[in-house]
């Protein structure tokens, strides 16, 4: 039997009151199950030893669960978080000192702040995978293994929420299937143009749209998404040529997609779009630069 060190357990009244109910419940259960066989319950001394041992284990479980916060605490900065009775921040059942908690939150939010909320493009999916990989590398260099796992889980949890939000939005009735054979293989959704939007476009450009829907930048080719994310996770930020290699790969995969999205007369916009994805104000290179700065 694993006996927890009773001397290390909090003796506060609140602590003891919380566990007392557990004792009563367990002893009552034993008595109810053994009413027809009193000898199975044992003598008073044995019962006392069993309850003491069980109580120590229960107390430790309660102590571990007190003030434990979900991993979302590392990116939801609007929620105030305090240290627990041990003077630490317990996130995902792992303890962080005040300095460690602050540093972990800065790492995660430094990445999440560069990700878009809403419908997701190919560059968005790429950045999400890159963020997970970079957070993992940075956390491995600065935190314990248990802390690293919590930090990476927080980043993945944030990305899951982004995916859920994307799926929620594109399931609405204002998104319809893109039947264009070329563009539809990459950009499989079109967005219905509301009448008030048509009015505004006519006012601004002097011409009213004739179509009922417009092509979107929502990524729908899962095979392409998977390829981009796999490559993003392999980026070695310690390699000075890493971004050049990734650029060549990204350009090779995304140029056909952008060519299909833009009309022939706008073909040059494909390269401009790729350049923006990589080196724009919220581009992939900015995320890599943040990670490099973090590590140094």
Taken as a whole, the chain contains a residue count of: 296
Same domain, 84 and 225: yes
pLDDT of amino acid 262: 78
89 & 221 share domain: yes
Residue with tokens 């909320």: 117
Considering only CA atoms, which of 16, 229, 272 is closest in space to residue 124?
Answer: 229
The predicted-structure confidence for 35-69, as pLDDT tens digits, reads as follows 444 444 444 444 444 445 556 666 555 555 567 89
Q: In terms of domains, do 148 and 133 share one?
A: yes
Q: Is the dihedral of CA 274, 278, 280, 283 positive or negative?
A: positive
Domain of residue 122, residue span: 71-172+216-295
pLDDT computed for residue 201 by the predictor: 80
167 and 225 co-located in one domain:
yes
Task: Provide the b/e sequence for 210-223 (b: ≥16 CB within 10 Å).
Answer: eeebebbbbbbbee
From the list 67, 54, 68, the residue with the least C-alpha distance to 2 is: 54
Instruction: Please give the angle made by the CA atoms of 46, 50 and 54, to the nearest 5 degrees.
Output: 175
Query: Same structural domain for residues 154 and 77?
Result: yes
Kindly state the average pLDDT of the residues 259-285: 86
58-62, 110-114, 206-210, 254-258 — which is least confidently predicted?
A: 58-62
Q: Does one domain contain both 17 and 92?
A: no
Q: State yes or no: pLDDT of 191 exceeds 50.
A: yes
* Mean pLDDT of all residues belonging to the chain: 82
Q: What is the pLDDT of residue 58?
A: 62
Domain end call among 66, 88, 113: 66
In a domain, 146, yes or no: yes
Instruction: For residues 56 and 128, state if they share a domain.
Output: no
| Section 98-113 average pLDDT | 96
Distance of CA 9 to the CA centre of its chain: 34
pLDDT value of residue 145: 98
- Name which of 54-58, 104-108, 148-152, 161-165 the model is least confident about: 54-58
Highest mean pLDDT among 62-71, 97-106, 177-186: 97-106
On whether both 18 and 106 belong to a single domain, the answer is no
- Please check whether residue 196 lies inside any domain of the structure: no
CB 191 within 8 A of CB 216: yes
The answer on 99 and 47 residing in a single domain is no
Tens digits of per-residue pLDDT, 7-27? 444 444 444 444 444 443 443
Q: Is the pLDDT of residue 75 over 80?
A: yes
**Do 109 and 249 share a domain, yes or no?**
yes
Among candidate residues 21, 36, 66, the one where a domain is terminated: 66
Q: Chain centroid to CA 260: how far?
A: 31
Note the pLDDT tens digit of each residue in 202-240.
788 888 877 788 889 999 999 999 999 999 999 888 888
Residues 98 and 168 in one domain: yes
Asked whether the predicted pLDDT for residue 160 surpasses 80, the reply is yes
Number of domains in the chain: 2
Would you say residue 177 lies in a domain? Answer: no
Q: Choose one of 66, 86, 108: the last residue of a domain.
A: 66
- Averaged pLDDT, 96-107: 96
The pLDDT of residue 38 is 43
pLDDT for 48 equals 44
| 225/123 Cα distance (integer angstroms) | 9
């Amino acid at each position: 039997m694993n006996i927890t060190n009773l001397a290390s357990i909090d003796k506060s009244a609140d602590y003891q009151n919380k566990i007392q109910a557990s004792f009563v419940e367990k002893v009552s259960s034993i008595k109810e199950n053994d009413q027809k066989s009193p000898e199975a319950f044992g003598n008073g001394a044995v019962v006392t030893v069993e309850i003491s041992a069980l109580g120590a284990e229960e107390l430790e479980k309660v102590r571990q669960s007190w003030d434990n916060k979900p991993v979302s605490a590392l990116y939801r900065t609007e929620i105030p978080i305090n240290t627990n009775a041990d003077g630490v921040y317990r996130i995902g059942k792992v303890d962080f000192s005040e300095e460690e908690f602050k540093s972990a939150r800065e790492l995660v939010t430094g990445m999440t702040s560069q990700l878009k909320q809403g419908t997701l493009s190919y560059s968005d999916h790429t950045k999400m995978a890159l963020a997970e990989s970079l957070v993992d590398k940075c956390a491995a260099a600065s935190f314990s293994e248990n802390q690293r796992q919590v930090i990476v889980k927080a980043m993945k949890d944030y990305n899951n929420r982004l995916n859920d939000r994307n799926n929620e939005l594109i399931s609405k009735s204002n998104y319809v299937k893109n039947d264009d054979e070329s563009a539809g293989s990459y950009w499989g959704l079109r967005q219905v143009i509301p009448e008030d939007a048509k009015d505004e476009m006519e006012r601004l450009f002097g011409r009213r749209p004739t179509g009922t829907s417009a092509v979107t930048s929502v990524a729908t080719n899962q095979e392409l998404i998977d390829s981009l994310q796999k490559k993003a996770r392999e980026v070695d930020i310690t390699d000075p040529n890493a971004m050049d290699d990734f650029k060549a790969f990204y350009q090779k995969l995304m140029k056909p997609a952008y060519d299909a999205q833009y009309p022939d007369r706008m073909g040059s916009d494909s390269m401009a779009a790729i350049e923006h994805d990589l080196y724009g104000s919220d581009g992939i290179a900015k995320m890599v630069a943040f990670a490099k700065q973090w590590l140094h």
